[in-house]
Structure 1
Amino acid sequence: MIVMFVSRIWDNLRLSYRDLKIKHKFFVVHCLIVFIVCSVSLVALQAALHIYDGLLYDESAKVLNLSTINIENELKRIEKLSYTLVSNRDIQNYLVNLKSRLSSTKMAEIDWDLTDILWEYVFERNVASVNLIDSQGTQYSGGPPIDEAMVRKLVPLAAGKEGVFSFVPDPTGAFLIGCRQIRRIHNLSLEPLGTLIIRIKIAELVSQSTTGENNKEVILLILDGKKEIYHSNRLPELLGKNFVFAKNTAYSLQKVNGRRFFESHTRSDFTGWTYFNILPYETVFKQIILMRTIILLIFGILFLCTIFISLRLARNLTRPIESLTQKMKKVEKGDFALESFSPEEAARADEIGDLQRDFAIMIRRIDALIKEDYTKQIVIKEAQFRALQAQINPHFLYNTLESINWLAKVNQQKEISRMVESLGHLFRSAISSKEAVISLGEELQLLDDYITIQKIRFGERLDYQPQINPGWRELRIPKLTLQPLVENAIHYGLEKMLGVCRIAVQTLEHEDCLEILIADDGPGIDEDILEKLKTGVVKPQGLGIGLNNIDDRIKTIFGERFGLTVVSRLEQGTTVSVRIPKAEGATDV
């Protein structure tokens, strides 16, 4: 029954929507989409803010607990200071001597010396006084002396800790008292010699450790179990006894006397104390509260603006579409004489205006496209004819070279024959229509043909030294890579010299590539000429393939990691490095 009812309502809505005008459909759909997006966004935002709140609480707890770390570090420093005092050789000797009967003069000297030593440590940071009680109960003070009743309480306490430095809260709340039994170190007898008592300015220590803008509002409470060690002066007036500290989490939010507080706590492994940091919630999180309010206002304003804009857009979209539909119907009937658009339609710069202009341009170009297609066919035929004509010229050149080679052999001109054969191989490789990437072996054969020609020309002045590992001859390399580089070495090296020029071609194996080095010991290339060669401003001789061309071809085929590097120094020669991938047929494209 319910399914049928829902189905009937859906059918009625669908039919009603189908009969609406386009502008009304656009408005309904647009508002529905905006409503769904806003609703989902608000839900997602609330979830994200909830997660963010948790992260912020964690970070706030960590920041607040940084002051705890600072307090702990300062207490550890004072604990080390106490160890320095109890292990002081002079103090140890004085306390040992005081256990025996001494003259009044000697007692006065020891009293003076001990007091002098203790006063040296009174000026340490956060230290109010340093007091020493010998085995006879006599007190030696660096700073104000300690009340005898407190001394009688601290001496057995320190003795019970067996030399461990322990902290005790001062009844007045102004100080934190640290006490430690002094034991004899000589021969590790550990004989009790006295008690060291250090009064610590706890309020100053806490103030130094809780610096920062927000920390001014922090309320600190330190507990040893249930015993209070220290609390900020504002703690009773703000919280009273209504504050309940969380036990299962590192932080909590509580409301006391109409105010919200953020509380974090941590336990010290050094002292065993628990540090509670309490901060008014609005002090840190007021920006979050403001941000949430602003976001909700923005969503509401956006929704209202969207409704208004949807109505205007729907009206502006439907009018030109209806006009364009009428023009399309005329074109459908074969009427390509378009009526001119109104000034308002022609001035539109949005998609509708583009659609109108594109429609007009499309109609005007129909005839032009037909003619253009016909012209392209003629151009293709002409290109095919030129390609056939270009194939005739190489064949004529090869036949001519064969005739010269035959005539040289008949006349016993072996050098001419070798030169012509090498020239034929070189031209055939350079202008053939085969693939642009060949094997390294084929490239080296092409280079050998070129060297053969140059050897005949320069004779012993050309010292060509190939050092190629045969195992790399199957690697792929762009055609005419090495020959232009050797040609440059001859032009800028050998031709500029009167003596012998050594040109070496060798391979170096790297982890991810093979490096081919073409090095000459010629006079080197001037930096200006070298830069022009790289950019193609100066064209090389022979086949006219520039360094930049070679580098671009290698990078295009194999990727940016490979290519060409040129190093040239005057009077020291030139070295060209070609890097190609080691994997056979490997490319990055």
Structure 2
Amino acid sequence: MTYLKSAYKNAGIHHKMILLIIVLMLVNFAVFAVILKYIFHIYDNQMYKKTSEVLNISSIGIENELRNIEKTTFKVTTDEQLQRYLLQLESETSPYTKMVLRKKITNRLIAFAGSETYVYSMVVIDKEGQVMSAGNREGIPQELHSTLSELADEYDGSNAWYAAGHSSLVAARQFKSFTDSNFTLNGLGTLAIRVRIDRIVADRVQTSGRDGQLTITDGKRMIYPETPLLSESDMQAELARKQPYGIATYSGGTFFAAQVKSSYTGWTYLHMTSFDDMFRHITIIKEIVSTIFVIMLLIALALGTRLSGSITKPIVQLIQNMRKIEKGDLDRLEEEALGPVPFSTQDEVGLLHRTYKKMIRRIRELINENVAKQLLLRETELKALQAQINPHFLYNTLESVNWLAKANKQDRISEMVEALAFLLRSAVSFEEQLIPLRKELDIVRSYVTIQKTRFDERLIFQLDVPEELMDAQIPKLTLQPLVENAIHYALEPQIEPCRISIVARVREGSLFLRVEDDGPGIAEGFLEKLHSGQVTTRGQGIGLANIQERLHLIFGAPWGMELHSESGTGTSIHVCIPYVKGDQGHVQGAVG
């Protein structure tokens, strides 16, 4: 089962679709076959029951006629004239008189036999064994006379039926003496009536001929017909079957048999119908349904194969093109790798091809753009290497100026040049993303040293940073641009001295830095421009928006910077970042 599941999963769409069509068709056919079989089963049961009902009605009709024959035997054996003639014949000794009496008996039998439809002949056998017969039909064979007389004596006045074979049925009854003058109930002779059982069956049974055959048997002899469908052994096997109806197969073929046993005669009425003849139409219908299903299955497979091919063939072509691209065939990417795609196709497969073609074109564009960017990057790197020469010249020049100032004992010039050189080296070095707060304050002091040369006593700079916070890691050039903004917007516009201070505190794992001044403050409209980054500082040109963006990129959105200012009261800028010491590694560990 696992192997089949794996094989199905790994099979192609074409084979899965064909298999799905076959399974659906087989399921539909199975459901249809079950429903059809159920309908045929109901039909068969109804037909079986109907056949049994017809057989019951037929047997009742036949036995009604046999009862009439029995009444006839009683009527004949109790006829007064026949009783008198037989009594006289028993006591008479004259041969001539006996002949006359027998002639009268024959005439009387002719009168009875002429009025009976289903009687071949009537025979009276007297005690001397002489036979008097009436009827112009086939008589009773002479060899049966003694047998019939013995049977009648055995039944002692009751009617007895005897199957003589070859569709011969005989009713026999003993004449009993019961006249007023001789009520002795002694036997006077035997009455035998040969019955036209074939005529009775023809008149009373509707299912005959090619529709089936009615068989009547007493269990030992065949009463009707002369030539049954079943052999003697098959007949015994059929009579031993317990079901009243069903399908049985014998040497003569397969038959549908329905039987009923008479409570009047004890005979078994058996109706045999050839199964092939009986169910010919049903068999034809089943064959037609099977043929139609096979045709529909072939048509469905043909249409499914065509539909599957219309889906899978373009996909296979697309896979082949992808493999060409995988091998690096990019020079003829759009011409050979894609292949022709009919523009009239508007289904999902056509859309997939067109989208894939657009994707390949976009890849070509991106490749071209990437090549151009690589060339530009190499050119930029070359220019950067060339540009490294300029700072070296500048540093060497500043060193010369510093040496000359010291030689001429110009201490302030030397101090300013050293501060400028340190500031330039710190500004152009981007090797470290985070630096200790101590280094950032050194950059700020160098910048303030340069500015004090310009503003002298007007610039009052103060630091309020505990020593234990000097190793805290902060982004490079975070405080220097803020001090530069304070000088530009607080110190320059006024003549009075301006105090600029830097305060650092730690609270709940966060490092709070504050740069504040006591300048004129910032107007509300100008404050909005600073928040949006529309105004940049002098010097390095790093605006407040740039600092805010760098803080967000390094530490995340919850951290950042806020600016507070009121006109005439000064300005303060608050920076809140995670407190990370120098020995705690990367900043990710502190941000969490």
Using structure 2 for the length normalisation, give the TM-score.
0.45
Using structure 1 for the length normalisation, give the TM-score.
0.45
Larger radius of gyration: 2
